[in-house]
Structure 1
Amino acid sequence: MSLEPVNSSITNSGTHTTILFLDDWQLSSITNMDRKVGKPKWIREGTLVDGLTEGTWNFPLVVYEPDLQLWKAVYCGAVDFEPVRANKNRFLRNQILLYAESSDGVHWVKKDVSDQASFPGKRYAANQVFGLDEHCDGAPVFYDLHERDPERRWKYFFASHRKQFLAVSPDAIHWKVEAIPLDEVTLDSPITCFYNDVKGTYVLSRRVHNGDRRIALFETMDFRTFTQPEIVIHPEPHDPPLVQFYGMPVYKYEHLFMGLLWMFHTNPGEIEYHKDFGPIDCSLAYSMDGRHFFRALHEPFIPRNERGEHGGGSIYTSTMLQAPDGHLRFYSGGSKAEHFQDQNLDDAALLLHELRKDGFFYMESHAMIGRVMTRCVDFGGNGLNLNVRAPYGRIRVQLSEAQGKPHDGFAFDDCVPFCGDTTAYSPVWKSGRLPSALHGIRTHIEVEVTSGELYAIRGDFEIQIGSK
């Protein structure tokens, strides 16, 4: 199956552009500014403990449905095979799906759906929505906003007896199973999916096969015909020693595809066909087209919690979304023990971390005044706003000619300084001039930051890269 890319701007949606600071590609100059990594904050009260979850299988998907003003969570339980099977001092478990609801995405109720949900397997809990009598291993669940059939909005990919299956649901409670005609594989979780709106395809993100812990992508338009796997993430020299990549859920943010890369820190003393024991944390990768991924970090983006806490042994971040208040939320399966360390512990839970809007990376003034200059842009309208924080400093903006000279009326000294903390600061110039007056003129956006931070630049402009 050949899937050819369609033409699409790298950074634009129409003439509206967002500049984030994961790299310098859209910048011309940086003076006295440091790039910093955002630090998602663990929200302890957002922890959901369920005795059926187990440290190695959890992988929650959390969705906010605005029409219902309801948060829904589908996460995995791990139940014993009958009879119990063991391998390499670890138990092989059977996966089930469990369901919870919340009015705020923080405080959860394990919803009793026993009178609604039916499935072939044994029922272990009132909030169980799916299970088989045979081996089942997959997840996290995928919430498909591009699906035209509302009966197939929720999708759960799993393997059973070396075959791949897809379960679909309209509401996360009622599920039906379909076979997927992939070649026979020995495959285990996680199996994640995302929609690539650049190419108009669905993409499965997973390993090539069990034990080969690198990230490979499969593409499909119909879940019937698939491309061959293409490896997109492989360990690099700057990575920690012997690291392997356990999985990578991918979510769209603005023009970028953000990969939540699970880093498995393996035990050098474990000499086996493949390694099973060690801690897992979450790093970060990103892509502009959903196919070619770049490593944003070689260290954790969401690190493990303190020892003894949920997430102190391993943390599997499987959901990223933007809450109605604008904050970024990350939901993870967190365990107190390391991967496969002790499956008898009641150690796993759903965890919540929060981050400022656009807060993956930001530019901070190194000492007092710093400046950032974008590449040349062409304004198509008056929209220009910045995500900034300078509660004891100030922010000023200048619009400059291609060679750096300020446009008349748009100099730093013409700008009304801003002091405060906002995700949408719109600069005003004393001259009364508006950015649309510069339409058709190559213009740099310059931001002066005094004792502050710059997270993003948004506006009605297009980055000018190369000749047009």
Structure 2
Amino acid sequence: MEATSRNVKFTFFDNRTYEYIRGFERKLGQAQKYSGNPVLTPELPNEFKRAHYYGTALYDEDEQLYKTWYSSHFYGAAIGESDPKAYSYLNYAYSSDGIHFIKPQLDVVPGTNIVLDNEERTHGPSVILDSEEPNPKQRFKLAMSPYTKHCSIFIYASPDGIHWKPMFDKPVLEVESDCHTGFYRDPASGAYRLSFRMRCPDRRVWVAESQDLLHWTKPVLALEPDQIDSCFTQFYGMQMTPYGPLTIGLISMYDTYDFITDPNFNKMAGTMDVQLAYSRDGFGWHRCKQGEKVISLGVEGEWDSTCIMPSSTIIYRPDAMKLYYSAVPFDHSGFSRIPYDEIDKECIGLAELRPDAFVYLQADQDECELLTRPFAIEHGDLYLNAAAASGVVKVEICDTEGRALKGFSFDDHIPFTGDSTAARVEWKGNPDISSFTHQVIRLKLRASNAKVYSIFFPHGEDIKAYWRFKEVSCLNPLKYDIS
């Protein structure tokens, strides 16, 4: 599997790697929507006014292309997606810039961009590009839960993301997962993980794991609404993407209406938005700034004002973290309630976060300070991802008792006053950074009028590949932090 990164990074999801954090306010990153949204609209006959993320957007490094798979559904005379009279397809498009998408004419259904025809009854698909797969015929993999197969989860494989075949002649998980399936491969262990529902419409997040895609662990209830959430809140599903040693979850939050508006047990009416979660093992999940949206709903009347659903994968590029999403300006019940001739189109948009900006620390005018737990490194080059154009960030290297090492104090530090995702930390006189390697140290940081996104020791790795990193162990540093 992927070699363990040597890039040691401090992020701000929680307090695990810190002795204290004083004065800072922990903030959730707010993804900025592309001004030209939507980037993909349904225009073809097979799209039925829906470009829907039950689907995936990813970046293919080998081909230098953004690729997206999106669902289209048509109910017509049907009463819903499970009705045999309904139609559903999986469609494909690609782009060189992530903005202008081409819908190719393919040979699966000649003259269309369909990659799974109606007989497959596409429902809840997620695609991964499996870079560690030795069989070129299985480079792409897809997990979904077809309605005509009781929403059990099936796995498909493809050499090109266009021509798909089932990997097995039976479901890999006999569940009733009426949602967008989450699917990824853990880069450290090589294990595949799925997120799904166990029953319909039990809107909570369950997770299972497999080494071979056929044999899966017993599903674990990984995330559900808690006492802080409203009684109206349900989790429609969660999409998962590796991020260093963490996994990021994009929760599809479903805020249902009260029982006067919708008295039914299955609660088909409500709005949807996207909130953030994270995990260190794929099973134990934590919410990030619970209740806050990482992708906000648009204002009333805009195309993305009422229901937003994320792509199954966050795309990491050197300049930004890209979050594709589909959206509509009506509530969840609209697909079956509004006549087809009157319904608005479901389109796909793009929102972006600064690198490492899932969660960050904000300092106001008063000086704020943090101190890390003890750790050890092998190379002393240190970088900041911070915005301090109107403020300042200062760094000190300390011993385990918090005393500054000679030459690396706050007084010696050359203050950072710019805006950079990778600014090299420097001290006056250019002291020898090897003097504090292979020993137990701490890092102390002070800031005012600044936002701090991450602090990292890249150990010679590409500083633009911010999504590849490891955390300090918070154990015996000389045993666990260095080779």
TM-score, normalising length from structure 2?
0.86
1:421, 1:70 → 2: CA distance? 29
Report the CA distance between 1:238 and its aligned residue: 0.9
Query: Aligned match of 2:287 in 295, 304, 312?
Result: 295
Written as runs of structure 1 = structure 2, the 5 A alignment for 1:132-143 is 132-133=118-119, 135-143=121-129
Residues 191 and 183 (structure 1), Cα distance of their counterparts in 2 relative to 1, 3 Å cut? closer
Select the residue among 421, 443, 446 that pairs with 1:445. 443
1:321 — aligned with what?
314
- The CA distance in 2 between the partners of 1:315 and 1:145, in whole Å, is 29
CA distance in 1, matches of 2:421, 2:180: 34
Give CA-to-partner distance per residue, 1:379-410, whole Å, 9 cap, x none.
Answer: 21123111011112222211112111111111
Q: For residues 30 and 411 of structure 2, what CA distance do their matches in structure 1 show?
A: 34
Look up the match of 1:40: 31
Paired residue secondary structure (1:284): strand
Report SS of the residue matched to 1:305. Answer: coil
What SS does the aligned partner of 2:308 have?
strand
One of 195, 220, 230 as aligned partner of 2:210? 220
Of 300, 304, 329, which residue of structure 2 is paired with 1:307?
A: 300
Pick one of 312, 330, 333 that aligns with 2:323: 330
Of residues 358-367 and 164-173 in structure 1, the stretch that sits farther from structure 2 once superposed is 164-173
User: Comparing 269-278 with 161-170, which one deviates more in the overlay?
Assistant: 161-170
Partners of 2:322 and 2:23 in 1: CA distance = 31
Aligned pair partner of 1:173 in 162, 169, 182? 162
Mean CA deviation greater in 291-300 or 382-391:
291-300
Q: SS state of the match for residue 376, structure 2?
A: strand
Matched AA of 2:117: G
Distance in 1 of aligned mates of 2:301 and 2:186: 39
Pick one of 150, 174, 189 that aligns with 2:179: 189
Q: 1:182 Cα deviation (Å)?
A: 3.7
1:154 to 126, 135, 140: 140
* 2:118 equivalent to 1:127: no
Give the one of 268, 277, 300 matched to 1:285.
277
Match of 1:357 in 2: 355
Deviation sequence 1:196-239 (CA, Å, 0-9, x none):
23443111111112211110012122222122211000111111
Q: Output aligned runs, 1:53-452, within 5 Å.
A: 57-80=52-75, 84-86=77-79, 93-113=86-106, 116-118=107-109, 126-133=112-119, 135-158=121-144, 159=146, 160-162=148-150, 163-178=152-167, 179-182=169-172, 184-269=174-259, 270-299=262-291, 300-343=293-336, 344=340, 345-452=343-450
Alignment CA distance shift 1:111-1:134 (3 Å)? closer
Structure 1 distance, partners of 2:70, 2:284, is: 29
The TM-score normalised by the length of structure 1 is: 0.89
Q: Specify every segment of 5 or more residues in structure 1 that has no aligned partner in the other structure, as ranges.
A: 1-5
Q: For the Cα contact (< 8 Å) 1:399–1:411, is it kept in 2?
A: yes
Name the CA distance, whole Å, in 1 between partners of 2:311 and 2:85. 22
Using the TM superposition, name which of 434-443 and 421-430 deviates more: 434-443
What is the SS of the residue equivalent to 1:180? coil
Tell me which amino acid in the other structure corresponds to 1:411.
S
- Tell me how far apart the structure 2 counterparts of residues 340 and 140 of structure 1 sit (CA, whole Å): 23
Counterpart of 2:53, as a letter, is N
- CA distance in 2 between counterparts of 1:135 and 1:77 reads 10
Aligned to 1:333, the other structure's residue is in SS state strand
Partners of 2:383 and 2:85 in 1: how far apart? 52
Report sequence identity in percent.
27
Say which is worse superposed, 133-142 or 260-269, in terms of deviation: 133-142
Moved more, 329-338 or 197-206: 197-206
CA distance in 2, matches of 1:464, 1:252: 19
Rounded to whole Å, the distance in 1 between the matches of 2:101 and 2:420 is 30
Quickly say closer, same or farther: Cα 1:92–1:316, change in 2 above 3 A: farther
Say which is worse superposed, 236-245 or 433-442, in terms of deviation: 433-442
After superposing the two structures, state which structure 1 stretch, 310-319 or 341-350, moved more: 341-350
Shift of the alpha carbon at 1:93? 4.0
How far 1:429 sits from its partner (Å)? 1.2
Question: Does the CA-based 8 Å contact 1:40-1:354 persist in structure 2?
Answer: yes
- Is contact 1:110-1:127 (8 Å) kept? yes
User: Matched residues in 1 for 2:438 and 2:123: separation?
Assistant: 55
Q: 1:395 to 1:91 in 2, by over 3 A?
A: farther
Q: Which residue of 1 aligns with 2:468?
A: none
Deviation (angstroms), 1:258: 0.3
- 2:308 and 2:84 map into 1 onto residues whose CA distance is 20
| Cα distance change of structure 1 residues 274 and 428 upon mapping to structure 2, 3 Å threshold | same
SS at match of 1:110: coil
96-105 or 321-330, which deviates more: 321-330
Equivalent pairs, count: 450
- Pick the structure with more strand per residue: 1
Change over 3 Å in CA distance of 1:420–1:180 after alignment to 2: farther
For residue 411 of structure 2, give the secondary structure of its aligned residue in structure 1: helix
Q: Counterparts of 1:134 and 1:62 in 2: how far apart (Å)?
A: 21
1:55–1:333 CA contact under 8 A, matched in 2: no
Secondary structure of 1:86's counterpart equals coil
Which amino acid in structure 2 is aligned with residue 34 of structure 1?
Answer: E
CA distance in 1, matches of 2:61, 2:313: 16
- Taking the aligned partners of 1:314 and 1:208, their CA distance within structure 2 comes to 23
CA displacement at 1:273 relative to structure 2: 3.2
Aligned amino acid, residue 375 of structure 2: V
Instruction: Give yes or no for contact 2:8–2:456 (8 Å, CA) kept in 1.
Output: yes
The residue type paired with residue 220 of structure 2 is: E
Can you list the C-alpha shifts for 1:55-91, whole angstroms capped at 9, x where unaligned? 694334112223322211111111347xx32169x99
Q: C-alpha offsets along residues 171-199 of structure 1, whole Å, 9 cap, x if unaligned?
A: 22222234334464433231221112344
Deviations 1:259-293 (A, max 9, x none): 00111111222222321111111111101111211
CA contact (8 A) 1:397 1:411 kept: yes
